[in-house]
A and B are shown apart, each in its own frame.
Chain A
Amino acid sequence: MSQHGIKEHSHGNVPIQTRSERPRSTSVADFEPISKLQEIWRYLPIDKLRGLDADVMAEVADSDFELKLVSGVTHRYVESTDSVVGSAGLPEDRVSAAAWTNASKTLVIEIPADFSSSEASFVKLSPAGVSAKAAHLVVKVGNFANATVVLDHVGLGVLAENVEIVLGDGSQLNFVSIQQWDQGASHISSQFARLGRDSKLKHVVVSLGGDLVRVTPTAFLANQGAEVEMFGVYLADTGNYFEHRPFVDHIAKNCVSNVAYKGALQGAGAHTVWVGDVLIRESAEGTDTYELNRNLLLVDGARADSVPNLEIETGKIEGAGHASASGRFDDEQLFYLMARGVSESDARKLVVRGFLNEVIQKIGIEEIEQRLISAIELELERVGA
């Protein structure tokens, strides 16, 4: 199946130059097999895929989900032929296409128009197995609604997942995707958000556990006045591979995007990858965008890759910037704290917690913030950081 008249086309060995030229399809056959020769898979530890590269896989059971929805927010399961499926985006890679094809049912979380609550609805997904499963979720936010949804990935699982987020005009959604898997878990999650006119999305990715976690959130700013904040925080130990590839597609005029991901690596062999793409199309006049990634390396032998990409097809923009830095402790911060009597080890602790906390405090959901701070505290203490 092809979309919008985009036909399957082979790029041969020529790397794709611009993000807009990437193929989009729900058909596995439209994508080349996973190989480290392709930019999108180049960092991936292939040995940890655990069947996520297969064309055929099982799908998650209803019982793998645990829902705790705020009153007024509803859920239903629909067939993959339902019109809501595909309303936010279509797969841009083979795993996403396989998950699409193999998930016959889609869980739809629906927030009615004009709904308003600061309380969070929770969707917990725990596939509890070591064979690959596919999942498909849609979060649909009605016009002028204001809601918070937390998607929680915990326990053991090998999961290929598509998450679609559709924001109606003037709506606001605070969406948090937490990856707090046990050892032995592998997870590839493609997330697509389509924002209505004047809508606002806060999209937060938190990755704390899992052998392989790859989250590729895309925000399509296809209607004017839309605003997206994409935040990420991750703490990688030995044995963790975390890859995050946020993509903001500025299509309509006068949209705003702000991307900020921060990660700490505290175990030898820990590997994190951040590739941040921002595309400002010719039609996206008045765009204001900024993307940032910072990595704090707490030990030798950990590796953080960080690649910001900015493609600009129009000069008529408000602003476009990016920043990326990976390094060890900032000596000036340590000096400042030590000059106030704080020991070096306590100063380091304060700096690391602060570094990660900076993103966590933007989540704005007290319960989640506290849970993440505790989880991070536990992990840091385990290695004495």
Chain B
Amino acid sequence: MATLEIKNLHVSVNTEQGPKQILRGVDLTIRSGETHAVMGPNGSGKSTLAYSVAGHPKYEVTDGEIYLDGQNVLEMEVDERARAGLFLAMQYPVEVPGVSVSNFLRTAKTAISGEAPQLRQWVGDLKTAMNNLRMDPDFTERNVNEGFSGGEKKRHEILQLELLKPKIAILDETDSGLDVDALKIVSEGVNRAKANTDLGVLLITHYTRILRYIKPDFVHVFVAGKVAEQGGPELAERLEAEGYDRYLKASV
């Protein structure tokens, strides 16, 4: 049973015009097995939340706290957060030229587990996971994210999610840019991880579409750097019908 607690989180980002406040007091608690959808219009700070929890150096936490099972996440380096059980599926995964997927995955698995995986077991797990995500076996010989299509990048992120078995995963617009078939495959992967490891999920999305495949327990509407409204799955249905206009008018 894991719990990620985000309390009163304030985050600013450095721009050429000086620091700019993006998050203005975010409170969220995600437990194992729960799926939280964070929805909101562009520029509301959804991705900033994701990157701040993962520890990207560009974002500065100016106030608030983040705890994973009582451990102070803000005092951890990026890699320590991952080893503690946090995972961020990125919206724009970067290329790492010359590093094969196979090498990358094994290195990450070794880092997370603290020891190199048993070869036979690892090869089997990798094959199964790739098969489930309908990925070609040759994929492992390619360089990380190099020349990947949008769909391949997202599948590769979910492949890591399934293999690294984190406690809490943040999915940053994993659905964006995917066609329906790819969206289903990726969603199945997330659902498998939930079923197999009791994963807690923070699902960041602009659209309600992915919520047809990954059922949220909670929906949080993000506007201007904080949660404007929260509720159950029915809130997503209302957003589907009405869009974000209601919140944007209120915040002006």
Contact = CB atoms under 8 A, between A and B. Distances in A.
A310 B95 CA distance: 28
B98 A357 contact: yes
A343 interface: yes
Contacts of B78: 335, 338-339
Given A342-B108, A344-B77, A346-B107, A332 B82 contact: no
Nearest to A343: B79
Contact of B99 (A331, A341, A357): A357
Nearest to A332: B94
Interface string A347-377: 1001101111111110000000000000000
A158 B230 CA distance: 75
A354 B98 contact: yes
Contact of A339 (B54, B99, B104, B107): B54
B111 A331 contact: no
Contact of B56 (A335, A344, A351, A360): A335
A359 B81 CA distance: 33
A376 to B, nearest CB: 11
Interface string B220-245: 00000000000000000000000000
Nearest to B58: A331
Contact of A344 (B79, B87, B160): B79
Nearest to B146: A358
Contacts of B97: 354-355, 358
B98 A341 contact: no
A208 to B, nearest CB: 17
B202 to A, nearest CB: 15
Interface residues of A, number: 27
Interface string A59-71: 0000000000000
A353 B99 contact: yes
A331 B79 contact: no
Contacts of B57: 331, 335
A186 B43 CA distance: 57
Contacts of B41: none
Nearest to A351: B96
Contact of A340 (B95, B103, B112): B112
A364 B111 CA distance: 31
A330 B82 CA distance: 20
Contact of B96 (A333, A339, A360): A333
Interface residues of B, number: 30
Nearest to A335: B56
B99 A350 contact: yes
A337 interface: yes
Contacts of A41: none
B164 interface: yes
B155 to A, nearest CB: 16
Nearest to B103: A350
Contacts of B184: none
Contacts of A351: 96, 99
B83 interface: yes
Given A335-B56, A335-B57, A350-B107, A340 B99 contact: no
Contact of B82 (A333, A340, A344, A359): A340
Contacts of B103: 350
A346 B112 CA distance: 13
B94 A340 contact: no
Interface of A: 330-333, 335-344, 346-347, 350-351, 353-361
Given A338-B79, A339-B90, A355-B98, 17 more contacts: A331-B57, A335-B57, A339-B54, A339-B88, A341-B111, A341-B164, A342-B79, A342-B107, A350-B107, A351-B99, A353-B98, A354-B97, A354-B98, A355-B97, A357-B99, A358-B97, A358-B143
Interface of B: 54-57, 77-79, 81-83, 87-88, 90, 93-99, 103-104, 107-108, 111-112, 143-144, 160, 164
